[in-house]
Structure 1
Amino acid sequence: MGKAGKLALWAVPLLFAAHSWAFDLDDVAVKAKALAAEGYNAPQSNLPGALRELAFADYQKLRFREDQAHWRDGKTPFQLYFFHQGMHFDLPVKINEVTATGVREIRYDPAMFDFADLPVQPGELENLGFAGFKVIHPLNAADKHDELMSVLGASYFRVVGKGQVYGLSARGLAIDTALPSGEEFPRFSEFWIEQPQADRRSLVIYALLDSPRATGAYRMEIKPGEDSVLDVEARLYLRDSVEKLGIAPLTSMYLFGANQPWPRPNYRPELHDSDGLAIHAGNGEWLWRPLNNPQRLNVSSYRIDNPRGFGLLQRGRDFAQYQDLDDRYELRPSAWVETLGDWGPGHVELVEIPTPDETNDNIVALWRPDKLPAVGQPLDIAYRLHFSRDEAALHDPQLAWVSQTRLSEGDVKQANLIRQPDGSTALLVDFVGPRLAKRKAEAPPTVQASVDGNAELLENSLRYNPVSRGWRLTLRVKIKDPAQPVEMRAALVEDGKPLSETWSYQLPAHE
């Protein structure tokens, strides 16, 4: 056989190999496992002082030039914008593009950004790197590019669907949240983003997570829509022992609402990104826990084996509930974690942190597994994140849910029809849903209600609500020690079977 023939034979497998090349979760997991076997190397910031000391308003001036967007040629339905480092976003992350033939780094160039009047020198910007990125997609109109996903800071990211505005955040992982020892914030240090084909309606992102006591490999596939959905697969490795590993953590803000009014006059009746924690337990039970802005740190733990889902929801969708023309809280999405596979025994935890204003994310919800892997051994987890404004889509239609919880001074109607406060506290809970809407007003369901030993239940009454075509429950309690919280539960039932989710509320302590 001649030389040309030999070359032709070798060309066949080489050509096949080029076309069959692929990048997947295992490629990132190899890196995560190797990192976990090494000592932790804290990342070093290369940010000049002028950018590190920026006020938030000045950081907002530092804008990405849209004409520099990655994939701006229109051959894919997505584009990438990039965040510049600044303020506390002072660590560079490496961002790679995955194509059909290989991986290449997307390199930082200061020409991608408009620095406005910020006092930075060109020499200070060499090889800085990006702080994060945005995914851009024609979400609301075919001819308009909208932000779909924002990835910035530690392992935080935010996602919106059609007609939504940014609100709460999700995270890759949480470690020792709300423990006296202090929380550890793992960070995504490197990303690999698949270049999608023109007809692809989803975008695949791989991420490498690193922290002093854990590493991880992530595959995230974002699917934009009326409700945008993010499919997550993660493989985690521990470097060292961890007391509390938080899986699928969600972070939100609750300042005040109908169940906890603001003590000073405010034209906004409510101000929050989320108003409650919803849980779908492995045994089929649904729980709803309205959020609080407590006077001191509070952690609520719910024993849930193999959860079917949990999330921080924004159930109020009426502008009149918020009256905020700037921040549009009624358009902020709920985030629902749909678990995939068997998650085993553990707890859903809710952390509520005191905050004086809306600039602090003071709410955290996460899954805490009972069993953690040995150091260096993998923990595989999968879930689907839904970002939605459709409460009915996130709930069992056969069960009613709580549309609102309202706090009131307790009173008793006198013979002269004047209501006289009696020193009690009242909670008014509205249950709604398709099955309740079909129920006759003269056929009230049964109420199961209880309070803990720090309160006496004075009233448990239910009446039809013709406006919502549901039922309003009034619970009036006499608190024994205001410096301690009161745990309350209530549900609608019929023939011993639930008609509604379980309302599980903690009336916060007042010092």
Structure 2
Amino acid sequence: MKKLRWLGAAVMLSLYANSVWAFSIDDVAKQAKSLAGKSYEAPKSNLPSAFRDMKYADYQQIQFNHDKAYWNKLKTPFKLEFYHQGMYFDTPVTINEVTATAVNKIKYSPDYFTFGNVKHDKDTVKDLGFAGFKVLYPINSKDKNDEIVSMLGASYFRVIGKGQVYGLSARGLAIDTALPSGEEFPRFREFWIERPQPKANWLVVYALLDSPRATGAYRFIIRPGEESKIDVQAKIYLRDKVGKLGVAPLTSMFLFGANQPSPTTNYRPEMHDSDGLSIHAGNDEWIWRPLNNPKRLAVSTYSTENPKGFGLLQRTRDFSRYEDLDDRYDLRPSAWVQPEGNWGKGRIELVEIPTNDETNDNVVAFWTPEQLPEPGKEMNYKYSILMTRDEGKLHDPKIAWVQQTRRSTGDVKQANLIRQPDGTVAFVVDFTGEEMKKMAADTPITAQASIGDNGEIVENNVRYNPVTKGWRLTLRVKVKDEKKTTDMRAALVNGDKTLSETWSYQLPANE
């Protein structure tokens, strides 16, 4: 009798699993491929002017009623809440729930929300639709639901882990970023969210992407934890040729930091969501590129075949480097993209856009393939995104990494010990690492450094740093034309053995 009950339970479990997975990314891909063969239809806004013209402070008053969170009455640690339309979030997205037996649209109702002081006619909002959704999960305490995922606006999404606060964003796709023709922003127009099983510690979300020149089907498996991880599969179809396709794009903010201090007096020493781009190239080279806030658009490219990983990282973790009690830049996560399989030839591209304040995301990084297929042909990419505050574990422990980059006015010490500026720019770069910390202080470490045509290295000095048990590189460079960018590279070596990642920096044009 017990055996029969066990067999019956096993059959039911099998049926449940099969019925859930009966809806898959292929179902979304069919729609994406069909859309790619048709002319693009721009989304139509159904938003009343009172909501479209509202200020951010007014939009913030529209809050989801936590008591009405989706799945509130189910035995699952995951809950769903929704974003109301307003401001530039002015087109509805369709949100569906996938259960063991059906796919059902989650219907919009104004009863989900409290509107604060926002005046509105209930009849004009009764059929609006949602702008996006958020996921709640008890990541910091078993007794409290924390917002861990936000999917709102175009194809942007943000995910955090334990003890983290929102910072940089990921995107589904980037098209023609930093090209003169202007960037195209694809959007997720429909979502399908699997109802999680009671003890599941992951959530599956499907999304249909659409834009004038591309469509796509996405599957996200979100795994919350100390370091939340998102497994992504994307099937992309072009409607028409594009100038540049950005795969696995990350978007962040860099206003100022140690390598580029604030031009105005500010009690915060640094202000950024990320301070550098890290690359693990296909040839196993590690590259670190500190971020800038340039005075004009800047694009840096790193050609590589079959990249092993890249990410926008927040390596600076000490609170004293920020001193901001409200925005807590020290708690914002790094995002590390790890490709699955071979992505072929292409390049990792970094785009830096001038900004005067921290509300603008001005940094974008992505992979762009060397060749694109003809319109209608499927491109299939799989990768994971790790949201972490433990940047050290991302690297090979045998390779030292850049702990910080500081920029200063170059100077020389006179006979009377007074420092005299000499018209150079100085860079102080600290390297550290597990293996490096084991080396004797008198290890003969030097730096292989180079500079582009627009500059000259006048000092290349490496010395032991007893505080970090690493080595400090000091470069003083003479810039020929301040109206042009200046590119530099450096790595620490001991004889013919490379000890560190490659520090790759671009001094912005000064104009």
Q: Normalising TM by the smaller chain, what interval?
A: over 0.9
Alignment of 1:380-399 (within 5 A): 380-399=380-399
Q: Is the 8 A contact 2:444 2:494 kept in 1?
A: no
Alignment match, 2:119: 119
Q: Which amino acid aligns with 1:479?
A: V
> Could you tell me how far 1:443 is from its partner in structure 2?
1.2
- 1:434 matches 2:434: yes
Return closer, same or farther for 1:18/1:453 CA change in 2, 3 Å cut-off.
closer
> Could you tell me how far 1:20 is from its partner in structure 2?
3.8
Q: Is the 8 A contact 1:423 1:478 kept in 2?
A: yes
Return closer, same or farther for 1:49/1:20 CA change in 2, 3 Å cut-off.
same
Alignment match, 1:500: 500
Residues 383-413 of structure 1 show CA distances to partners (whole Å, capped at 9, x for unaligned) of 0000000011211111010011000011111
Q: Percent identity?
A: 64
> Could you tell me how far 1:74 is from its partner in structure 2?
4.4
Q: Which amino acid aligns with 1:506?
A: Q
Alignment of 1:4-403 (within 5 A): 20-21=18-19, 22-403=22-403
Paired residue secondary structure (1:434): coil
> Could you tell me how far 1:446 is from its partner in structure 2?
2.4
Cα distance in structure 2, aligned partners of 1:334 and 1:301: 20
Cα distance in structure 2, aligned partners of 1:374 and 1:398: 43
Q: Is the 8 A contact 1:444 1:463 kept in 2?
A: no
Alignment match, 1:6: none
Cα distance in structure 1, aligned partners of 2:220 and 2:465: 43
Cα distance in structure 1, aligned partners of 2:411 and 2:266: 25
Cα distance in structure 2, aligned partners of 1:497 and 1:53: 61
> Could you tell me how far 1:268 is from its partner in structure 2?
0.3
Q: Is the 8 A contact 2:402 2:429 kept in 1?
A: yes
Residues 407-457 of structure 1 show CA distances to partners (whole Å, capped at 9, x for unaligned) of 001111122222111111100000011111111111142210111121111
Cα distance in structure 2, aligned partners of 1:17 and 1:31: 26
Q: CA RMSD in A?
A: 1.4
Cα distance in structure 2, aligned partners of 1:17 and 1:36: 34
Cα distance in structure 2, aligned partners of 1:93 and 1:226: 30
> Could you tell me how far 1:18 is from its partner in structure 2?
8.3
Cα distance in structure 2, aligned partners of 1:505 and 1:359: 25
Paired residue secondary structure (1:130): coil
Paired residue secondary structure (2:123): helix
Cα distance in structure 1, aligned partners of 2:497 and 2:43: 55
Q: Which amino acid aligns with 1:492?
A: L
Cα distance in structure 1, aligned partners of 2:121 and 2:199: 42
Cα distance in structure 1, aligned partners of 2:14 and 2:327: 53
Cα distance in structure 2, aligned partners of 1:16 and 1:339: 31
Q: Is the 8 A contact 1:257 1:272 kept in 2?
A: yes
Alignment match, 1:454: 454
> Could you tell me how far 1:77 is from its partner in structure 2?
1.3
Q: Which amino acid aligns with 2:177?
A: T
Q: Which amino acid aligns with 1:312?
A: L
Return closer, same or farther for 1:422/1:19 CA change in 2, 3 Å cut-off.
closer
> Could you tell me how far 1:19 is from its partner in structure 2?
7.5
Residues 140-170 of structure 1 show CA distances to partners (whole Å, capped at 9, x for unaligned) of 0111110111000000000101000000000
Q: Which amino acid aligns with 1:216?
A: G
Return closer, same or farther for 1:347/1:145 CA change in 2, 3 Å cut-off.
same
> Could you tell me how far 1:39 is from its partner in structure 2?
0.8
Residues 332-367 of structure 1 show CA distances to partners (whole Å, capped at 9, x for unaligned) of 000010010100000100000000111100000010
Alignment match, 2:8: none
Paired residue secondary structure (1:304): strand
Q: Which amino acid aligns with 1:82?
A: F
TM-score norm. by structure 2 comes to 0.96
Extract unaligned runs of 5+ from structure 1: 1-14
> Could you tell me how far 1:299 is from its partner in structure 2?
0.7
Q: Is the 8 A contact 2:229 2:386 kept in 1?
A: yes
Cα distance in structure 1, aligned partners of 2:237 and 2:229: 26
> Could you tell me how far 1:382 is from its partner in structure 2?
0.4
Alignment of 1:410-421 (within 5 A): 410-421=410-421
> Could you tell me how far 1:16 is from its partner in structure 2?
9.6
Residues 242-285 of structure 1 show CA distances to partners (whole Å, capped at 9, x for unaligned) of 11000000000000000001111100000000000010000000
Extract unaligned runs of 5+ from structure 2: 1-12
Cα distance in structure 1, aligned partners of 2:466 and 2:72: 53
Alignment match, 1:5: none
Cα distance in structure 2, aligned partners of 1:141 and 1:266: 35
Alignment match, 1:482: 482
Cα distance in structure 2, aligned partners of 1:215 and 1:425: 47
Paired residue secondary structure (2:435): helix
Q: Is the 8 A contact 1:444 1:462 kept in 2?
A: no
Cα distance in structure 2, aligned partners of 1:20 and 1:159: 28
Return closer, same or farther for 1:419/1:17 CA change in 2, 3 Å cut-off.
closer
Cα distance in structure 2, aligned partners of 1:429 and 1:54: 46
Q: Is the 8 A contact 1:161 1:225 kept in 2?
A: yes
Q: Which amino acid aligns with 1:94?
A: T
TM-score norm. by structure 1 comes to 0.96
Comparing 115-124 and 163-172, the one that deviates more: 115-124
Q: Which amino acid aligns with 2:313?
A: L
Q: Is the 8 A contact 1:134 1:151 kept in 2?
A: yes
Q: Which amino acid aligns with 2:361?
A: D
Return closer, same or farther for 1:18/1:73 CA change in 2, 3 Å cut-off.
closer
Q: Is the 8 A contact 2:446 2:461 kept in 1?
A: no
Alignment match, 2:9: none
